[in-house]
């Protein structure tokens, strides 16, 4: 903790020294909503928006690694380049975070382990929006602890970008992306491949992505299309069963296709879409010996949604309807399916010349086997002026078990077809200060869960069983602040999250996921600009997990930028720390990367 305090003081001193430098006004960030888009200043939730520039300068090779650099996010990776990673938000399980790509849900109904199988690489991402806190009344299932929306953006600019990188352990990547179109049609296509021999035995991987996106302008709106597929093949040394299972192997495929329209009619707004998400997962306990133990799962989620909004003297009213069919064919889980119907309603009130904003809402979901669920919620925000804002929100959430939770069976695990849906009441109050290029936030939050689902066991020789483990009360505090400059010091930021979870039922000996949360999390970033074209970013992370102690990670990326070229050197885990993020899987030590990108017109 002494190092944390010193880091805070150091960054605070730097901020004071450079506060007199000329500042640049931050462009207003728009946050995409289900019923309306709002400036970040007006949002009554704790939302983080990661910009394109932040993504480009970050010492990260994947979307998961970028998310790990923001407080409140707990990315539990297995292997290098986030070849397999679980996303936890403020102590949640990986099943309790909803993942969207351009507003389309891509969560896997088989298991949340596959929800981050996204068919494009980090270079394709325009921005990432993180909603911390419950959003079930807007998005439904899995929006239990938060939502992550990964946004790409096609362009009519005629250009093509080539990328290449290499690093330790025979790691390399090659990619090409192109934008093309005309005044009405914007297109983006990207193909890339990532490969590595792995940083230890049986952690090699191959990842291939193909992604295409089109936006066609119509009167007062757009027609949007996207399609992509990802294939992963990787050694999974100790990833799942036990650390001694060194010869595990997995292949996954994930594809997404969606077609949507957004259009405005004077006081009316409409956005609708149809989508298909397919996932395939092949697992071998002994690599290249499927006769010993092999699982094959193929899942399809097909859905459609229509969302409308109406502006009146009373505010903005939103109403949405979604239908989704989930299919699964598996040699382990059997043939399963479920049909989901959801209705969303929300109204946005504004009072006192838009200083006070109140947004009550409710959604109803029907699962053809589990029954009906209601998700009420309320957001309130008050703007003292353009710089100072307080906000609060409260909501109820539910989560239906995945097919793996219900039916999975192996020598070391047993699902539970009698699982009940888990539910929680979640609340947060916070204060936000934003002035020109400075942003500061502080909030307190809680989540009281009932019928919480986890994989647990009574003793070390028992098998893992999916159970409703009872009540878990989570509370915490989060602090973030940062500033940008037009000087040698380009930016700095600090984030800290404290979490405390109380388990109120008879304590089990071991919790596989839920009670492995971070208790203290500290992130500090420092970015400098020098010699006109060089940018260097340092990111320090301190994580203290409830059961496995603490570790410190320092990452760096030095970039040389011109109009058409970018060359970088990146070092992950400079301190060469020994650490694990999940299930006792050792993470890589110090890892060097070099890379280049070249942009040219057609």
- CA separation, residue 551 to residues 83, 308, 512, 522, 576 (Å): 21, 47, 20, 11, 11
Whether 169 shows a pLDDT value over 50: the answer reads yes
Residue 16, pLDDT score: 37
| Side-chain half-sphere CA neighbours of 436 within 13 A | 10
pLDDT digits (tens, 9 = 90+) for 567-598: 999 999 999 999 999 878 999 999 999 999 99
| DSSP string computed for 370-435 | TEEEEEEEEEEEEESSSSEEEEEEEEEEEEPPPHHHHH-B-SSEE--TTPPPEEEEEEEEEEEEEE
Paired with 150 in beta bridges are 101, 128
Beta-strand ranges (E) seen in 82-125 are 84-89, 97-101, 104-105
End-to-end CA distance of the chain: 53
Mean pLDDT, rounded, of the chain: 90
Which residue reads 């209601």 in tokens?
374
pLDDT tens-digit map of 323-364: 999 999 999 999 999 999 999 999 999 999 989 999 999 999
Distances (CA, A) of 549 to 472, 517, 580: 21, 11, 10
126: alpha, beta or left, given left = phi > 0 and alpha = psi -120 to 50?
alpha
The pLDDT value given to residue 42: 74
DSSP secondary structure string for all residues of 145-206: SEEEEEE---B-S-EEEEEEEEETTTEEEEEEEEEEE-SSEEEEEEEEEEEE--SSTT--EE
What local confidence, expressed as pLDDT, does residue 594 receive?
A: 97
Percent of the chain with pLDDT over 70: 93
pLDDT for residue 13: 37
pLDDT in tens, 537-561: 999 999 999 878 899 999 999 999 9
Q: Please report the pLDDT score of residue 22 as a whole number.
A: 42
436: its two tokens: 């020109």
Mean pLDDT of 207-223: 96
- What pLDDT sits at residue 6? 45
pTM equals: 0.93
3-state helix, strand, coil in the chain (%, to 5): 10, 60, 30
Average pLDDT for 511-534: 89
Coil vs helix vs strand at 457: strand
Structure tokens at 426: 């979640």
Average pLDDT over residues 512-520: 82
Q: Is the pLDDT of residue 122 over 60?
A: yes
Spatial CB neighbours of 10, under 8 Å, sequence gap ≥ 6: none
Q: Say what the pLDDT of residue 26 is.
A: 44
The pLDDT, as a whole number, for residue 28 is: 59
Q: pLDDT by residue (tens digit) across 406-457?
A: 999 988 889 999 999 999 999 999 999 999 889 999 999 999 999 999 888 8
Judged against a pLDDT cut of 50, whether residue 38 lies above it is answered with yes
Let me know: does 224 contact 259? Beta carbons within 8 Å. Answer: yes
C-beta of residue 7 within 8 angstroms of C-beta of residue 92: no
pLDDT over 80 at 1, yes or no: no
Strand partners, 409: 414
Residue 100 to residue 118: CA distance in whole angstroms: 10
Distance CA 423, CA 398 (A): 4
Of residues 514 and 595, more confidently modeled? 595
Confidence of residue 99 (pLDDT cuts 50, 70, 90): very high
Q: Strands 438-457, 489-503: parallel, antiparallel or unpaired by DSSP? A: unpaired
Q: Which of 272, 341, 267 is nearest to 309 (CA)?
A: 267
* pLDDT tens for each residue of 366-407: 999 889 999 999 999 999 998 999 999 999 999 999 999 999
> Quick check: 2 pLDDT over 60?
no
Is 488 in contact with 439 (CB distance < 8 Å)? no
- Average pLDDT on 462-482 reads 92
């Amino acid at each position: 903790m002494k190092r944390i305090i010193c880091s805070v003081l150091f960054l605070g001193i730097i901020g004071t020294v450079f506060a007199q430098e000329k500042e640049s006004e931050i462009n207003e960030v728009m946050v995409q909503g289900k019923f309306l888009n709002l400036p970040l200043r007006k949002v009554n939730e704790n939302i983080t928006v990661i910009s394109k520039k932040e993504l480009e300068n970050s010492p990260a090779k994947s979307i998961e690694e970028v998310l790990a650099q923001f407080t409140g996010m707990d990315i539990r990776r297995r292997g290098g380049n986030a070849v397999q990673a679980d996303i936890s938000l403020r102590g949640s399980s990986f099943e309790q975070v909803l993942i969207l790509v351009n507003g389309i849900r891509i969560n896997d109904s088989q298991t949340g382990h596959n929800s981050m199988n996204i068919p494009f690489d980090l270079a394709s991402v325009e921005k990432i929006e993180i909603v911390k806190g419950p959003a079930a009344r807007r998005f439904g299932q899995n929006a239990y602890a938060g939502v992550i929306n990964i946004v790409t953006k096609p362009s009519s600019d005629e250009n093509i970008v080539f990328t290449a990188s290499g690093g330790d352990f025979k790691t390399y990547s090659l990619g090409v992306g192109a934008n093309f179109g005309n005044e009405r049609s914007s297109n983006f296509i990207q193909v890339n491949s990532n490969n590595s021999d792995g940083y230890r035995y049986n952690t090699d991987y191959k990842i291939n992505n193909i992604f295409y996106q089109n936006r066609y302008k119509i009167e007062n709106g757009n027609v949007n299309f996207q399609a992509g597929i990802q294939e992963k093949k990787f050694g999974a040394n100790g990833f799942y069963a036990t650390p001694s299972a060194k010869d595990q192997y997995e292949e996954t495929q994930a594809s997404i296709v969606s077609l949507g329209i957004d259009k405005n009619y004077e006081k009316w707004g409409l956005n609708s879409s149809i989508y298909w998400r397919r996932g395939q997962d092949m697992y071998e306990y002994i690599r290249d010996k499927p006769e010993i133990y092999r699982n094959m799962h193929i899942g399809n989620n097909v859905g459609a949604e229509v969302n409308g909004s109406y502006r009146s003297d009373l505010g903005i009213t939103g109403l949405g309807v979604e239908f989704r069919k989930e299919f699964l064919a598996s040699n382990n889980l059997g043939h399963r399916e479920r049909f989901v119907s959801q209705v969303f309603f929300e109204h946005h009130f504004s009072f006192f010349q838009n200083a006070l904003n109140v947004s009550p809402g409710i959604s109803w979901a029907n699962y053809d086997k589990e029954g009906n669920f209601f998700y009420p919620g309320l957001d309130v925000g008050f703007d003292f002026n353009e710089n100072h804002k307080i906000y609060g929100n409260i909501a109820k959430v539910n989560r239906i078990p995945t097919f793996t939770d219900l039916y999975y069976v192996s020598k070391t695990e047993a699902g539970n077809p009698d699982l009940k849906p888990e539910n929680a009441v979640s609340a947060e109050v916070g204060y936000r200060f934003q002035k020109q290029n400075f942003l500061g936030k502080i909030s307190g939050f809680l989540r009281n869960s009932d019928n919480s689902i986890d994989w647990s066991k009574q003793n070390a020789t028992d098998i893992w069983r999916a159970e409703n483990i009872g009540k878990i009360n989570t509370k915490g505090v989060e602090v973030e602040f940062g500033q940008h400059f037009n000087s040698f010091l380009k930016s700095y930021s600090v984030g800290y999250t404290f979490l405390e979870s109380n388990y109120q039922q008879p304590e089990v000996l071991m919790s596989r996921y839920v009670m492995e949360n971070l208790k203290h999390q500290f992130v500090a970033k420092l970015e400098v600009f020098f010699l006109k074209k060089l940018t260097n970013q340092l990111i320090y992370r301190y994580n203290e997990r409830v059961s496995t102690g603490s570790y410190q990670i320092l990452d760096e990326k030095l970039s040389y930028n011109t109009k058409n070229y970018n060359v970088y050197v990146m070092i992950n885990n400079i301190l060469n720390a020994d650490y694990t993020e999940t299930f006792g899987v050792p993470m890589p030590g110090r890892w060097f990367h070099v890379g280049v990108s070249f942009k040219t017109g057609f």
